[in-house]
Amino acid sequence: DAKTTQPPSMDCAEGRAANLPCNHSTISGNEYVYWYRQIHSQGPQYIIHGLKNNETNEMASLIITEDRKSSTLILPHATLRDTAVYYCIVSALVVTASKLTFGTGTRLQVTL
Amino acid sequence: GAVVSQHPSRVICKSGTSVKIECRSLDFQATTMFWYRQFPKKSLMLMATSNEGSKATYEQGVEKDKFLINHASLTLSTLTVTSAHPEDSSFYICSARPLPLAGGVNNEQFFGPGTRLTVL
């Protein structure tokens, strides 16, 4: 699986948009970009994933650059409950087991 | 959404004893489950991939005789930490990947809430 690079930490004011960047310059054609988050002492929670088109769901939006070498996760209106470590992962989409390799992630702190 | 449970949520045991952790997919079937370990302030480290009805695949450096994995059904995988020692104290997390829908594929995984193991 391709490696990802994320800033170690970010701050965001409550109610503002949180934009979390991720670099994945070695991503290959069959690899998707996945985002998970982990709130303290809990299991990771799936947020969103995409291949090349921008994606949006009830939690977030995912913007993938045209060359697919980087992406941005957007939480449109961050709340205190969004404080967590956010992991950007690239992984091939195959039926046979394809593991998720977690990097160090970005620790997002949402403040009042 | 799909729910994965783990039992127990936390366990304290004496050094030398064995501890079993269960991972269940509650509302879906999973041919593949994954076991991770996480030390304080560190990222998740994949320990092994568990496939229903076959032997688990362990990551490099993970002792298969110490961390026994059984995946006897499509909804249950167990991790047994044998002869536990204080250095095995950690947060153990499982995840499960649903069977792909007809005609579709997905690598989305659903994670359990984790089991905190403390070995005295």
Residue-wise pLDDT for A38-66, tens only, equals 999 899 999 999 999 999 999 999 999 99
Report helix, strand and coil shares of chain B as percent, to nearest 5. Answer: 0, 50, 45
CA distance B14 to chain A (A): 23
Q: What is the mean pLDDT of residues A63-80?
A: 97
- Chain B positions touching A86 (Cβ under 8 A) are none
CB B1 within 8 A of CB B110: yes
Structure confidence at residue B103 (pLDDT): 46
Contacts of A4 in chain B (CB under 8 A): none
pLDDT in tens, A16-42: 999 999 999 999 888 889 999 999 989
Q: What pLDDT sits at residue B100?
A: 67
Residues 34-53 in B contacting A (C-alpha not used; CB under 8 Å): 34, 36, 43-46, 49, 51
Pair of tokens at residue B103: 């005609």
Q: Looking at the partner chain, which of B44, B105, B113 has a beta carbon nearest the beta carbon of A93?
A: B105
Show residues of chain B in contact with A103, CB under 8 Å: 43
Could you read off the pLDDT of B23-68 as tens digits, one per residue?
A: 999 988 888 899 999 999 899 999 999 888 888 999 999 999 999 9
A39: closest CA among A112, A110, A101?
A: A110
The reported pLDDT for the residue numbered A41 is: 87
**What percent of chain B has pLDDT above 90?**
70
Q: Which candidate from B1, B36, B107 shows the least CB-CB separation from A91?
A: B107
